Amino acid sequence: MKKRRNVRRKNKRMRWGLFFLGLAVLAAVVWKIQFSRQPPYAYDAYIERYAAKNKLDQALVAAVIYQESRYREKAESAKGAQGLMQIMPDTAKWIGEHLKIPYSKERVMDPETNIRMGTWYLRTLLDQYQEDEMLALAAYNAGPGNVDEWLKDPRWTRGGRLNKIPFAETEKYVESVMRMKEVYRKMYQERLPKKKS
């Protein structure tokens, strides 16, 4: 009788031990899955430097890089866009003239140069569209010429504001970047400066 009681106690302790071990393993697995789902935040020194220089939100820059290249520095699109921020060669040449950076594909593929050029271009678009992030991102993706045309077309505007992006790809791009901007802000709160109210 006493032996049976001791065996039951041991079994009960063993079950509790296994239960807590299982919880610990489950917590470790959940943590690993959550950690592995976090978007990357590489090249943070360049992002911080050039976002500050161009008065941009670091979370916005990180989100654009994520959406454009998933942080692959040698990314090249079928249309010819190059590097982390996927800058088209003609746009890179134009930016290079303003920043005194002679164009070469190798230079544009360099992470620091690409972020420097991409953030300058994003700032230029924000200035052009009076700090309207949606319009600036649409122009980054589809070109400012298209955005200017949409703003003149009453099918896409209401009260002088763009209420519908006619290119499905650009609409999805803008939504994705804005969503990723908030993801970056939440995931990297300690690393990113606080959002201005």
Task: Determine the pLDDT at residue 192.
Answer: 64
In a domain, 129, yes or no: yes
Given a contact cutoff of 8 angstroms between Cβ atoms, the answer to whether 184 and 38 are in contact is no
In a domain, 192, yes or no: no
Q: What pTM did the predictor assign?
A: 0.78
Which residues, given as ranges, of the chain have pLDDT below 70?
1-3, 5-7, 26-38, 190-197
Residues 30, 65 share a domain: no
Number of domains in the chain: 2
The CATH number of whichever domain residue 66 belongs to comes to 1.10.530.10
- Domain interval for residue 28: 1-37
Task: Look up 169 and say whether it is catalytic.
Answer: no
- Select which of 48, 68, 97, 112 is catalytic: 68
Residues 27, 116 share a domain: no
Task: Determine the pLDDT at residue 84.
Answer: 98
Q: What's the pLDDT tens digit per position in 141-168? A: 999 999 999 999 999 998 878 999 999 9
Residues 28, 102 share a domain: no
Tell me the CA distances in angstroms from 41 to 12, 46, 54, 76, 184, one per residue in order.
47, 11, 19, 20, 8
Question: For 47-93, what is the HEC assignment?
Answer: HHHHHHHCCCCHHHHHHHHHHHHCCCCCCECCCCCECCCCECHHHHH
In a domain, 197, yes or no: no
Residues 27, 100 share a domain: no
